[in-house]
Amino acid sequence: MLRLFFEENIREERLPEFVREKLTAQGAILVRMDRLVKSLLNLSILELKNSCEPEEYNLAGQIASVLQEFTEIFEAGGIRVETDLPSRLPIQADREKIRRVLINILDNAIKYNRPDGEIVLRAGEEGGMIFLEVQNTGIGVPAAERDKIFEQFYRVEKSRSTAHGGSGLGLSIVKRIIELHGGTVSLDSSFGEWARVRIMLPKNADIR
- Domain assignment of residue 180, given as a range: 54-202
14 is a domain residue: yes
**Which pLDDT does position 163 carry in this prediction?**
47
The whole-number average pLDDT for the span 11-25 is 86
How many structural domains compose the chain?
2
Q: Name the nearest CA neighbour of 201 among 44, 59, 50.
A: 59
- Claim to verify: residue 77 and residue 157 sit in the same structural domain: yes
**Which pLDDT does position 168 carry in this prediction?**
54
- Claim to verify: residue 82 and residue 10 sit in the same structural domain: no
The whole-number average pLDDT for the span 36-50 is 63
Q: Which residues pair with 82 in a beta bridge?
A: 120
As a whole number of angstroms, the distance between CA 173 and CA 150 comes to 8
**Helix extents (H) in 49-79:** 59-69, 71-76
Q: State the number of CA atoms in the 13 A half-sphere of 10 facing the CB.
A: 14
Residue, of 74 and 8, whose pLDDT is higher: 74
- Claim to verify: residue 105 and residue 188 sit in the same structural domain: yes
**Which pLDDT does position 110 carry in this prediction?**
92
**Which pLDDT does position 8 carry in this prediction?**
83
pLDDT above 90: residue 176:
no
- Claim to verify: residue 29 and residue 71 sit in the same structural domain: no
207 is a domain residue: no
In tens, the pLDDT along 150-169 reads 765 455 555 444 444 444 56
pLDDT above 80: residue 93:
yes
208 is a domain residue: no
Mean pLDDT of the chain: 83
Q: What percentage of the chain carries pLDDT values higher than 70? A: 80
In tens, the pLDDT along 45-81 reads 665 466 678 999 999 999 999 999 899 889 888 999 9
156 is a domain residue: yes
Helix (H) or strand (E) holding 95: helix 95-111
What CATH number has the domain bearing residue 118?
3.30.565.10
- Claim to verify: residue 39 and residue 58 sit in the same structural domain: no
In tens, the pLDDT along 23-34 reads 888 888 787 777
- Claim to verify: residue 38 and residue 67 sit in the same structural domain: no
The whole-number average pLDDT for the span 115-144 is 90
